[in-house]
Amino acid sequence: MIHAGDSVSYGNIHPMDIKDIKGADAALDFIADELTSLYQSAGVGIKRSTAEVVTRSMGKFSRVTDAGTSSSVVPGDIVDTSFVNHYNENSVKEMDVEFSVGKRLAESVSGFPIRSMIDDKMMEALLNEGVETVRVFTTPIKADKVIIGTNRSPLMNQDWLQRLGYRELKGSLQKGVAFGDSTHIAGPESSMFTRYVYGPSVIE
């Protein structure tokens, strides 16, 4: 049986076509298979897990389609998927009860259970109880997984000093200032550029 995305003729398959039809994960699996096959055909005894290390770095980003209530991103931004997941899992903020209608409680308050939708009646009840602020779930970020080539993925690194060590000096500095990016100048995860700037003693 032929399924959507299956090859039905000879010729090269473009990974982006697979992504559009089957999704990013299927496209990354295809790239890993092709890399493994390519190296093995050249006599290099590469394991598929090695190719997966490469594809993992290519598929860890997402394009924001809806920023929700986040002030850190806007639609169209490409960010690390872990950032989106962390925000959505911890998307809670405290706000005045009078402005909380339409939100869901992030904790039980005055007998109202967690995740209860705040309506006008609940708002009045909370105000009558003397509750001025409540913790509510914010609107999550919506994003679609994207595939970034190995020549661009290092430039997406949140560590701005590592971006400086790769390319695009001006852009890395501008983005670092705008987003308040930081860098880890110590430890084994520090980049070679970091060691060049601060000296090898920084990782000791």
Q: Which domains does the chain have, with CATH numbers?
A: 1-58 (no CATH), 78-143 (3.90.105), 157-204 (no CATH)
What per-residue confidence (pLDDT) applies to 188? 47
* Phi and psi at residue 146, to the nearest 5°: -125, 165
110 torsion bin: left (phi>0), alpha (psi -120 to 50), beta (else):
left
Phi, psi values for residue 44, rounded to 5°? -95, 120
> Reduced to 3 DSSP states, what percent helix, strand and coil does the chain have, rounded to the nearest 5?
45, 15, 40
Of 102-116, 120-134, 135-149, 157-171, least confident by mean pLDDT is: 157-171
Q: Give the residue from 183, 152, 155 showing the smallest Cα distance to 169.
A: 155
Q: Judge whether residue 176 has pLDDT over 70.
A: no
Percent of the chain's residues with pLDDT above 70 = 73
Of 3-7, 48-52, 90-94, 182-186, the range with the lowest mean pLDDT is 182-186
Distance CA 58, CA 79 (A): 12
Report whether pLDDT(104) > 90: no
**Encoding tokens for residue 52?**
């997966």
- Give me the chain's average pLDDT, please: 78
Percent of the chain with pLDDT over 90: 14
